[in-house]
Chain A
Amino acid sequence: AQSVTQPDIHITVSEGASLELRCNYSYGATPYLFWYVQSPGQGLQLLLKYFSGDTLVQGIKGFEAEFKRSQSSFNLRKPSVHWSDAAEYFCAVGGETGTASKLTFGTGTRLQVTL
């Protein structure tokens, strides 16, 4: 069965600092990988996704993620964090039944940004 681990429950960074959120997955074949962001009171918004090809993927809001098969990781990065990035971030894996919409989510990482 597929699974996702986000080892950091809560991260605090200063505005302007770089950010890396960790995600490790377990999946039998080549996974479909996603990062979502959830702001308070809002639904989940897709930041970026990986299916195949270039292992460094670019997303919205200046985020990027790198797929590393050897480490079963898909870490999310941003070079310079803005205060508006404070939110909860979820890594997800999909594709088990042929549709990427049946997703398995990690427990999330809550990002706090200090000014």
Chain B
Amino acid sequence: NAGVMQNPRHLVRRRGQEARLRCSPMKGHSHVYWYRQLPEEGLKFMVYLQKENIIDESGMPKERFSAEFPKEGPSILRIQQVVRGDSAAYFCASSPTASATNEKLFFGSGTQLSVL
């Protein structure tokens, strides 16, 4: 799973600033998923993207959060005007297809966002 690269590993922002989290999927993977892990909670699905398309954003907060996966470059999760409640670990996962068997779903090491 070291193939899914997330950066930065740690990100500190003050309230009101913007946070940009990057995820480079494994080579050959065109499906990307973002999950958020709040303290003392399990991972929660946020959004599922396929190259240049948002497939499912049912887990994304309606405001301040957006995600993209451009034709070239990494997937970006953007949080505008961060608040303390956004402090969490954000994980990205990638797969080559939307297969239901999940064997080829790999997770990155996550980005820990801390909002001061």
Interface residues of A (CB under 8 A from B): 4, 6, 32, 34, 36, 41-46, 49, 51, 90, 92, 94-95, 97-108
Contacts and interface: CB of A to CB of B under 8 A. Distances in A.
A102 B42 CA distance: 13
Given A41-B109, A45-B107, A102-B33, 10 more contacts: A49-B103, A90-B42, A92-B43, A98-B100, A101-B95, A101-B102, A102-B48, A106-B42, A107-B41, A108-B42
B42 to A, nearest CB: 4
A43 B91 contact: yes
Contacts of B42: 4, 6, 90, 92, 104-108
A44 B43 CA distance: 10
A34 B102 contact: yes
B91 A97 contact: no
Q: Which secondary structure dominates chain B's binding surface? A: loop
Contact of B43 (A6, A90, A97): A90
A97 B56 contact: yes
A31 to B, nearest CB: 12
B1 interface: yes
B93 interface: yes
Given A43-B4, A90-B42, A107-B41, A100 B102 contact: yes
